[in-house]
Structure 1
């Protein structure tokens, strides 16, 4: 292969031959590294989107306190652990239905 050949003049095979060592040295993404990543939502709008409800309803749910373990708030900044919030909503819903019987 001519080293002075312009990149635009390379054939597909020549380009693959050049890139093959680079491609083969790349490490695949390990799924176990992404397992510990938390899914976070921000603000009442994020909570409303997570719960598929209005912002007013999301605010009322937040004020009830059933999601306190999932919510971190400093001043006006609200950060919510989405997975924990959904788990808490599910368990509080079951408790609500049991108490209603």
Structure 2
């Protein structure tokens, strides 16, 4: 059976020999491609929402999170339109660590 046919066949329908043949033909390049795609997914930005999100992120009370926001320690990480608050979590942690 050809490798391209084996790749399309569900694993539960393969014999042990077919599965071993497929696993042996998988190259290190394929594993590297899988790892890089996972790394790019992990590098996407992480956001928290609202004062409660800030409190959970920093591990403090809502009152303390409100004070931190008002003092402007993490101002560059906050986007606010009306009552909606969106915070870039990684940038907020970085800015908070500097203060």
TM-aligned CA distance change 1:35 to 1:56, over 3 Å: same
- What is the Cα-based RMSD across aligned positions, in Å? 2.8
1:73 aligns with 2:83: no
Cα distance, 1:71 vs structure 2: 0.3
Count residues with an aligned counterpart.
77
- TM-score scaled by structure 1? 0.63
Offset of residue 79 of structure 1 = 0.4
User: Which has more helix, going by share of residues?
Assistant: 2
Deviation at 1:17, TM superposition (A): 1.2
Map of 1:95 onto structure 2: none
Please give the alpha-carbon distance, in whole angstroms, between the structure 2 residues aligned to 1:71 and 1:61.
12
* 1:97 corresponds to: none
Map 1:14-93 onto structure 2 (within 5 A): 15-17=12-14, 28=34, 30-92=37-99
1:35 Cα offset (Å): 4.4
Does the C-alpha gap of structure 1 residues 16 and 28 become closer, same or farther in structure 2, counting only changes over 3 Å?
Answer: farther
